[in-house]
Amino acid sequence: MISVIMGVHVVDDYLLNAINSILHQSFSEIELLVVANGKDCHIIEQYINSNIKDDRLVILKSKIPQLAYSLNLAIDNAKYKYIARMDSDDISYPDRLRRQLNYLLENNLDMVGSNVRLIDESGSSIGSRIVPKGRDINKKIPFGSAFIHPSCMYKKDLIIKARGYNSGFNSEDYDLWLRLKRLNISWDNMNEILLDYRIHTKATQRALIGYAESAGYAMREFILRKSLTNFIAIFYHLLKSFIRSKKK
């Protein structure tokens, strides 16, 4: 009933734990589509196959080292109606998929995310991230992502209607959320921690590119839907990108 999608571009110490956290879920009617991408895609495939044996695991390969493309490839090959995201360095809690699917169905939602626990590169807890809930999500979206990407579950047909992931080096999710908002999506975040989200100390440059991309998305949204909120959002994202660049 649930297709879990994951992009993998490197073999590291986190990969097997991330995969097993999905395959060992209390909700077993799943498939896990792993897209091994980049120049080492064949090495990644061999490594996973030599360490994990599970009929629910599907490995796809692509030489294109881009997460957005990998996720679209996985979605196109997904056989179930509901899709859950997962990253190759995070850890899903055992009841994550069951809880999220129940919440989505009970509340007639198109998409659901959750709070997360933050962990460092060694797996130690360094805090938590609490995301907006209910109506606060649409208020937050013009100024930044209101969801933590690998914590999300959504309906496949709606993502296809939105044309999937379009672009972004570090903000493919934010671009998608903005386009889904224009489709009047019904979404929410659960007030539970269902995932360990890993923070890497070497992600500064990726974050800077993400801020630059977000400024471009804000301009696009203002052109498409002129409002004071969208106008202010342009300058908000530009300011964030300038502040970030000064920290470099």
Q: How much is the pLDDT for 87?
A: 97
The residue-averaged pLDDT of 3-13 equals 97
pLDDT in tens, 72-124: 999 999 999 999 999 999 999 999 999 999 999 999 999 999 999 999 999 99
Do 210 and 122 share a structural domain?
no
**Higher-pLDDT residue of 167, 100:** 100
Do 217 and 106 share a structural domain?
no
Is residue 142 within 8 Å of residue 230, measured between CB atoms? yes
Where does the chain have alpha helices with state H? 15-23, 41-51, 67-77, 96-106, 136-140, 156-161, 172-182, 204-224, 228-247
The per-residue pLDDT of the chain, averaged, comes to 94
- Which two three-digit tokens encode residue 135? 């109506």
**Higher-pLDDT residue of 243, 239:** 239
Do 230 and 147 share a structural domain?
no
Do 219 and 144 share a structural domain?
no
Do 130 and 218 share a structural domain?
no
**Which residues constitute the domain of residue 235?**
202-248
Do 154 and 73 share a structural domain?
yes
Do 183 and 151 share a structural domain?
yes
- Which two three-digit tokens encode residue 99? 């809880």
3-state class (DSSP) for residue 231: helix
Distance CA 35, CA 3 (A): 13
Do 214 and 115 share a structural domain?
no
Do 52 and 68 share a structural domain?
yes
pLDDT at position 203 over 70: no
Q: How much is the pLDDT for 128?
A: 97
Token look-up 């972004």 returns 168
pLDDT band at residue 202 using 50, 70 and 90 as cut-offs: low
Do 44 and 162 share a structural domain?
yes
Phi-psi region of 162 (alpha: psi -120 to 50; beta: other; left: phi over 0): alpha
Q: How many domains does the chain have?
A: 2
Beta bridge partners, 114, equal 190
Do 59 and 179 share a structural domain?
yes
DSSP state of 12: -
Cα-Cα-Cα-Cα dihedral of 76, 78, 82, 85, to 10°?
-80
The residue-averaged pLDDT of 204-227 equals 86
pLDDT at position 245 over 80: no
Do 166 and 228 share a structural domain?
no
Q: How much is the pLDDT for 194?
A: 98
pLDDT in tens, 48-78: 999 999 999 999 999 999 999 999 999 999 9
Q: Which of 60, 78, 76 is nearest to 9 (CA)?
A: 60
pTM over 0.85: yes
